């Protein structure tokens, strides 16, 4: 059974498919096989049709934690009610819809004190 590549916080990742394992591995773009460092399962990697276009669009976002993409019906995305199966156009639209929430430099707009979290400590 193949593992499914997805983007989590600016990194390509795949979850192990072995029952009860719970392992996840970082992937290199185009990697065809993954070895689970937790349970030692070796599995093929299923990539989206155009991973580079997805990556390029996500990299336009200034905050690494907002760079996420899941394939359609990915178990984690479905369980947590987050978007999955997004096209590059969907990602672009999502970023535009949230652009007003960020200041130049990527800090949340409601954060006083510029791009530092120190503004929260006042």
Residue 19 burial class via C-beta count within 10 angstroms: exposed 0-12, middle 13-18, buried 19 and up: exposed
* Tokens standing for residue 31: 């990697």
Whether this prediction's pTM lies above 0.85 is answered by: no
Q: What is the DSSP letter of 45?
A: E
SS3 8: coil
pLDDT in tens, the chain (122 residues): 999 999 999 999 999 999 999 999 999 999 999 999 999 999 999 999 999 999 999 999 988 999 999 999 999 999 999 999 999 999 999 999 988 886 665 555 554 444 433 333 33
Q: What residues contact 56, with CB distance under 8 A and at least 6 apart? A: none
Give the model confidence (pLDDT) of 33-67 as tens digits.
999 999 999 999 999 999 999 999 999 998 899 99
């Amino acid at each position: 059974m193949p593992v499914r590549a997805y983007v989590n916080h600016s990194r390509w990742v795949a979850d192990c498919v072995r029952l009860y394992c719970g392992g996840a591995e970082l992937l290199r773009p185009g990697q065809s096989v993954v070895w689970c460092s937790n349970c030692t399962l070796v599995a093929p990697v299923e990539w989206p049709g155009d991973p580079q276009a997805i990556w390029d669009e996500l990299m336009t976002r200034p905050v690494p934690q907002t760079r996420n993409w899941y394939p359609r019906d990915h178990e984690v995305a479905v369980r947590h009610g987050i978007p999955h199966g997004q096209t590059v156009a969907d990602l672009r639209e999502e970023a535009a819809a949230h652009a007003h929430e960020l200041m130049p430099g990527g800090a949340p707009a409601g954060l006083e004190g510029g791009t530092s979290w120190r503004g929260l400590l006042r």
